[in-house]
Amino acid sequence: MSAEETRIYFSGQGLPPINGEGSDNDDLNVVTISRPGFEKHYITVHPDKNVSPYSMFNRAADCVKEKNAMIIQQFVFGGNELHGAGVDAIRQACGDIQWPITWIQGLGASGKLLTGTQVYAISGNETSMIRMEGEVIGSVYEDDDAKYCLLGDLRPSDTSLSREDQTRMTFEKMERALALVGMDFSNVLRTWLYIDDILDWYDELNDVRTKFFDERDVFNKMVPASTGIGVSNPHGAALVTDVLAIQPKTDNVKIFAVPSPLQCPAIDYKSSFSRAVELQLPDHRQLFISGTASIEPGGATVHIDDTAKQIELTMEVVKAILESRDMSWENTTRAIAYFKDTKDLPLLYDYCKANNLPDMPIAIAHSDICRHDLLFEIEFDASIAT
């Protein structure tokens, strides 16, 4: 594949309206990576304040149908009270749901608020569903370069267990799911850990994750990028997770951890994730930046009680990672901004405006961050043709 054959397109309006309550029209942002034979679509939708909060699902479905695509992964950021009706709305808009939906609610947020949805879909390539315990938990597809697996809404089968045991069960479930498609944990590039009551037991979760990684020799291979955020879920589980795994078919595919120029490795303070991971394919590169917050090179939180300053430092850290890989804000394919208080959303607008940032597909979520003194976190994916 050559660079002439691969194109990356962006369309949309960037961040949602400054009041965080939706727009007069659903803001829909689409980034398409067009490769020979198939396309990858990253779709971010913000709700319409004038109609049903579920209207954003219709917009997402219309986009998917227009592109003759199949949904692989979906995040929904909104109240648990809306989960049942929301899934029904997705079914009405899309038909039979053949993909996992990871539905998360910020702790303490209104159970009647939806702040957005993100969808990953592909067109022009066959996909196979992955089922476990009677549920669709992911999809797998292939091209000449690699096999790709996305798992979603993975959670413990028994929520009566201790939180630590639920965590261990969930990581083992990831492993079993990967085995169904001929992969193992060494193929994992990225994880998302959506953790109930995170501030009460994040250290214990890290202990379980670290032990699991030790047992599988992950620290001597590649530690995945990750997001670890404090949110609840409709299932009452201690955590819900998503996973991206890729198994190269040739030596032309490279996968490696990327350090942060402005921060120490997270492993230095016993958090078992890489700051970022890069996937190099023959025709384009993709960068997966972990959840990033206001942490200085020594690992300490800085700008305590100052959300604007935390946003500024966080965005500078992300920018430095992008630039270290010859990318910029214009290469963003998807992002999620997590706020301890969504009333601080205008501060992100202020930063973007002051620094002349382009429109970017950023979803907004309410959550606790992994430390009580962190007020903001953001994750970024970026892609560039080669």
List % helix, strand, coil for the chain (3-state, nearest 5).
30, 35, 35
> Given a cut of 70, is residue 25 above it in pLDDT?
no
Determine contact, residues 353/322, Cβ cutoff 8 Å: no
Determine contact, residues 186/195, Cβ cutoff 8 Å: no
Tell me the domains of the chain and their CATH numbers: 1-125 (3.30.1330), 140-250 (3.30.1330.40), 278-386 (3.30.1330.40)
Taking residues 40-69, report their average pLDDT. Answer: 90
What is the predicted pLDDT for the residue at 9? 77
> Given a cut of 70, is residue 23 above it in pLDDT?
no
Residue 121, SS3? strand
Q: What is the mean pLDDT of the chain?
A: 91
Distance CA(178)–CA(270), nearest Å, equals 26
Taking residues 62-71, report their average pLDDT. Answer: 95
Q: Which amino acid is at 382?
A: A
What is the predicted pLDDT for the residue at 47? 85
Q: Are strands 7-11 and 38-45 parallel, antiparallel or unpaired?
A: unpaired
Q: Are strands 101-106 and 225-232 parallel, antiparallel or unpaired?
A: antiparallel
> Given a cut of 50, is residue 20 above it in pLDDT?
no
What is the predicted pLDDT for the residue at 17? 54
What is the predicted pLDDT for the residue at 107? 59
In eight-state DSSP terms, residue 362 is: E
What is the predicted pLDDT for the residue at 11? 75
Taking residues 342-351, report their average pLDDT. Answer: 93
> Given a cut of 70, is residue 26 above it in pLDDT?
no
Distance CA(244)–CA(146), nearest Å, equals 13
Please write the tens of the pLDDT for every residue from 158-209: 999 999 999 999 999 999 999 999 999 999 999 999 999 999 999 999 999 9
Distance CA(359)–CA(14), nearest Å, equals 4
Determine contact, residues 128/122, Cβ cutoff 8 Å: no
Nearest CA among 319, 327, 318 for reference residue 379: 318
Q: Which helix (H) or strand (E) holds 102?
A: strand 101-106
Give the pLDDT band of residue 70 (cuts 50, 70, 90).
Answer: very high
Give the pLDDT band of residue 299 (cuts 50, 70, 90).
Answer: confident
What is the predicted pLDDT for the residue at 244? 98
Show the beta-strand stretches assigned E in 20-86. 28-35, 38-45, 70-78
Residue of 27 and 85 predicted with greater confidence: 85
Residue 232, SS3? strand
What is the predicted pLDDT for the residue at 2? 44
Q: Which helix (H) or strand (E) holds 191?
A: strand 188-195
Give the pLDDT band of residue 85 (cuts 50, 70, 90).
Answer: very high
What is the predicted pLDDT for the residue at 117? 95
Please write the tens of the pLDDT for every residue from 231-277: 999 999 999 999 999 999 999 999 999 999 999 887 777 778 999 99
Distance CA(299)–CA(282), nearest Å, equals 36
Taking residues 32-37, report their average pLDDT. Answer: 88
How many Cα neighbours within 13 Å face the side chain of 108? 10
In eight-state DSSP terms, residue 316 is: H
What is the predicted pLDDT for the residue at 108? 52
What is the predicted pLDDT for the residue at 333? 94
Distance CA(156)–CA(143), nearest Å, equals 32
pLDDT more than 90, % of the chain: 78
Please write the tens of the pLDDT for every residue from 325-344: 999 999 999 999 999 998 89
Determine contact, residues 53/116, Cβ cutoff 8 Å: no
Q: Which residue has the tokens 């660079």?
A: 3
Distance CA(181)–CA(132), nearest Å, equals 12
What is the predicted pLDDT for the residue at 19? 43
How many Cα neighbours within 13 Å face the side chain of 271? 22
- The Cα angle at residue 293 between residues 239 and 137, in degrees rounded to 5: 30
What is the predicted pLDDT for the residue at 105? 87
